[in-house]
Structure 1
Amino acid sequence: MEQPKSPTAHDGPHGILDKIRSTKRRFIQQALTKMGKAESSDDHEYQVLRERQLELVSNVEQVFVHMKSFVTNLVSLGYACTLLGDDMTMIRTDIPTRNANNSQAYGVKAASGNDEFTKSMAKIDAAARELAVYRSRAK
C-alpha cells in the first residue's frame, strides 16, 4: 500500500527542501503576526491546513452524535422487544410453558447492569452527552 503524502510535499529530491521552506515561511508568518505586522490569514497554506483540521474535528463530533443516536435507538429497541416478549408470554395460558420460557435454559437472561456491554453503553452515552454539551457551549 502506498503511504499518503502531504499536499505540500512534492515528489523527488526537492520534497524535503520544500517542506523546510514551507515551515520556515510559516514561522516567519507567525512571528510577523505576533508583532502585528501581518495577519494570520495571509498564509494561504496555513489556512488550508486549518480548514482541514476544523473539518476533521466537525466530522468526528458528528460521528459521536450519530453513535449516541444509534445506541439510544438500540437500547429503545431492546426495551421494546423485552416488552413484546413479556406480552407474548402473558398470552400463553399454560403455566409450565410460561415457566419454561422464563428459565435460563430457554435463553432469557435478566440484565443485571453489571455486564461489560451495559457498562460500555453507559460510557458511550456519557461521552456523547458531554460532547453535546461542549458543542452547545461552542455555538
Structure 2
Amino acid sequence: MVLALVAMVGAYAPQSHASGPTARSAQTTTTLDTTNQAAAAAGFDIKSFACSSKVQEGKPKIFCKAEWVGGKDPFTPKFDVNLTFFNPVLSFWNETRTAEYTFRCLGGREYRVSLSIGDNDGKETPYQARYVICGDL
C-alpha cells in the first residue's frame, strides 16, 4: 500500500525546470475516437510538426510549422496552446498541405502546442503536441 501511494504521489509531482530548458515531444492519439482511427487508417496524418522559439522585433515568439498527408481539401488546421498567448497568426496552404502558427509568448515559460487537421470529408488527424520554452529577452 505504501509503495502504491509513493507511486501515485510521484506521478503527480510537478516537473522541475531547474536543470534548464529541455526539449520534449509528445504525440497523443485518441484510441476510442473512430473518426481519428478512420483518418489514420486512410493515410490522413500529420507528417511533420515542429515548434521553436526566437526573439523577433524585440518580442519573444513561438513559431510552429506543420505538414500533413492525405485527406481532402479544404483543410482546417486546429492549433491549441495551453497558456494565454498574444496575437496568434495562422497561415495555411491547402495545395501544399502545410501550415504555420506564430504567437507571442512570455519569456522562460514552457508552452504546449497541440495540432489536429480537419478535412472536407469531416475526418480529423490524431492530435499531436509539442513542448517549447519561450526564449528569454
TM-score, L = length of structure 2: 0.19
Which structure has the larger Rg over C-alpha atoms? 1
* Higher relative contact order, chain-length normalized (CA < 8 Å, sep 6+): 2
**Structure having the larger proportion of residues in strand:** 2
